[in-house]
Structure 1
């Protein structure tokens, strides 16, 4: 298991879920510390929603064990776990004829939320919707409905919040608004489990991510995953092609090998960019080259995701 699990908001130990002969989740072990925003990424059918439903007590695991919000995941603890967590599905599931406040009051009654009026007001304030409390939900944009759905899951003041594709189908402005709300919740110390297909969103919001494809393929901070999967490199651009690039780059400190990507553009694989870049600059100047730029190449979380998915596809074809 990733971490010792002591005091974690989530602790999974060889958790698996099968539906008949189909394996949805296989041998998942990980820990999520309290207050962390933890991303779960993976292609369709990877088991993301199954994992959320299992940890939310909606499905029973087939094997393994877990602790959710400090409680063992089992039938006896299901009700108490639900009191400590909240799940926001991709579809808001609101009553469109009711006002924003009426929706929240209805759900507060269903949750048996104490001090419900105060909790409704606090939830609306958290998502910046106090001024829209009396508006019918059917009159709101999809982005504002997502905010109402987020307010609904905040009614119980959850310790662990599961957000399943919270910005799916939203325009960039509305998606950014929801992302800012997630940032606000992070500051309040809420543990957030985020499933998303927006890899830029995961990179911006998540402390760590797990790449899931039935089993966990990789887990860590985005920068750690980049370092594990990709070699460090420099992109060098000169005004004109070098007449003898091999004599320029050969033997330079931290430069392992090089290739010409395009005329006057060179990719150098290096062990330490901070050592290699000055040495490369000096060598180019000594060779009489006009240097346009020397930049360290940065791989995105999308590059990491696509590389792992591509490897899985290659394994599946063998």
Structure 2
């Protein structure tokens, strides 16, 4: 894998916009991605994710705005140079099913006019764990193995930036986990990965940061940062019987900001710091004579963040 790096971020996007006639695919999008980062790009169908990948991959030109890809300004003049530093793996890798794995890779290596083709093919196959399947016809492979061949094809150019568009779409859990392991291995080797996915648990597991797009960029940051921005910290408390006076129990707790009763009878306590409030709440409940069954800090998932943004998004509701 190439270790060549330019100074600055791997991707810099500034107010990038793409329109097709009167339809806006994405508008005024701005973000940066560091070298070696796994960056997740999330959003509903039609949000502009794939169009963004195609734009940054030099396949289509932006309507307005600017970007730097692998250290080069995004422009028609730099198209060939940018494509030599990146790779794009679409949802369907587009393999020739009548050819073997090695023949597919040899064909694409020739198409890219790559030197040292045999060594590159062997290295790419080792990277995805398919060296023992090199002579198998692609039509004989499962979808999960074909995705791995697609990754091997993308790795032939030793890319600095790898765009993965829904790489686990349609895969069973075992095959998806294998792709996750490959992405994690590439991260450790310093490859910058730009990942679009509908699998929010996948994004939370793999990505250093995520951006949520719905024509415009709604939020960007680490999953834990986004959770803190959208949701207050809270603790769920379950007791064997209802508390006689919850206000008296909860009012004096350090960091407590209020409480409410959930539909299933639990007490949900809003706090400034769950780690500080939880032990104090347990002591207060015991002192009050309550039979404490469970006391759990509520951890919102990336899916909660996503749904909170999309549920309140007028554009998404109109689609």
Find the counterpart in structure 2 of residue 95 from structure 1.
96
Find the counterpart in structure 2 of residue 107 from structure 1.
108
Find the counterpart in structure 2 of residue 203 from structure 1.
204
After the TM superposition, which residues 114-133 of structure 1 pair with which residues of structure 2 at under 5 Å, given as runs? 114-133=115-134
How far apart, CA to CA, are the structure 2 residues paired with 1:315 and 1:106?
42
Matched position secondary structure for 2:58: coil
Find the counterpart in structure 1 of residue 145 from structure 2.
144
1:14–1:117 distance in 2 versus 1, CA, 3 Å:
same
How far apart, CA to CA, are the structure 1 residues paired with 2:304 and 2:34?
26
Find the counterpart in structure 1 of residue 219 from structure 2.
218
The TM-score normalised by the length of structure 2 is: 0.96
Deviations for 1:186-218, whole angstroms, at most 9, x for unmatched residues?
000000000000000000000000000111100
Deviations for 1:265-306, whole angstroms, at most 9, x for unmatched residues?
210011111221122111111110111111100000000000
How far apart, CA to CA, are the structure 1 residues paired with 2:310 and 2:122?
44
Find the counterpart in structure 1 of residue 158 from structure 2.
157
Find the counterpart in structure 2 of residue 248 from structure 1.
249
Deviations for 1:23-42, whole angstroms, at most 9, x for unmatched residues?
11111111111110000000
The answer (yes or no) to whether the contact 2:310–2:316 under 8 Å persists in 1 is: no
Structure 1 unmatched runs, 5+:
none
The answer (yes or no) to whether the contact 2:7–2:71 under 8 Å persists in 1 is: no
How far apart, CA to CA, are the structure 2 residues paired with 1:17 and 1:263?
47
Deviations for 1:211-267, whole angstroms, at most 9, x for unmatched residues?
001111000000000000000000001111112212211232111111111465210
Runs of 4+ in 1 over 2 A off after TM superposition: 313-317
Find the counterpart in structure 2 of residue 62 from structure 1.
63
1:194–1:263 distance in 2 versus 1, CA, 3 Å:
closer
Find the counterpart in structure 2 of residue 306 from structure 1.
307
After the TM superposition, which residues 76-91 of structure 1 pair with which residues of structure 2 at under 5 Å, given as runs? 76-91=77-92
Find the counterpart in structure 1 of residue 3 from structure 2.
none
Find the counterpart in structure 1 of residue 277 from structure 2.
276
How far apart, CA to CA, are the structure 1 residues paired with 2:49 and 2:175?
23
1:232–1:314 distance in 2 versus 1, CA, 3 Å:
farther
How far apart, CA to CA, are the structure 2 residues paired with 1:116 and 1:314?
47
The answer (yes or no) to whether the contact 1:239–1:264 under 8 Å persists in 2 is: no
The answer (yes or no) to whether the contact 2:214–2:315 under 8 Å persists in 1 is: no
1:129–1:204 distance in 2 versus 1, CA, 3 Å:
same
Deviations for 1:167-194, whole angstroms, at most 9, x for unmatched residues?
0000000000001000000000000000
RMSD: 1.4
- Kindly state the Cα deviation for residue 310 of structure 1 after the two structures are TM-superposed: 0.9
The TM-score normalised by the length of structure 1 is: 0.96
